[in-house]
């Protein structure tokens, strides 16, 4: 399993749906100390980043200025998120 071999998982401009088992694998990886970097663009109008991020209390939104901003809770289900 490649996710367990690396130092960080990088997800760039996601447009495909995240399956529940994929989210579970990423959650387990984070709980074991793994790092995940999600990079998205305001131009990615089909973004599915929030489908993944919402599981950790993080989501992206477009503000009136047209810029994406991060919003997050400090902890979700015992995970520290920042």
Cα–Cα dist 62/65, whole Å: 8
CA angle in degrees (0–180, nearest 5) for 41-34-22: 65
- The pTM of the full predicted model, rounded to 2 decimals, is 0.70
Length of the chain: 82
Q: φ and ψ at 42, to 5 degrees?
A: -60, -20
- pLDDT tens across 8-54, in order? 999 999 999 999 999 999 999 999 889 999 999 888 889 999 999 99
């Amino acid at each position: 399993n490649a996710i367990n071999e690396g130092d960080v998982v990088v997800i760039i401009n996601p447009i495909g749906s995240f399956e529940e088992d994929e989210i579970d694998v990423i959650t387990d990886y984070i709980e074991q100390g793994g790092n995940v970097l999600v990079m998205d663009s305001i131009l990615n109008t089909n973004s599915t980043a929030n489908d993944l991020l919402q599981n950790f209390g993080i989501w992206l939104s477009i503000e009136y200025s047209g810029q994406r901003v991060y919003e997050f809770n400090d902890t979700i289900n015992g995970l520290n998120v920042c």
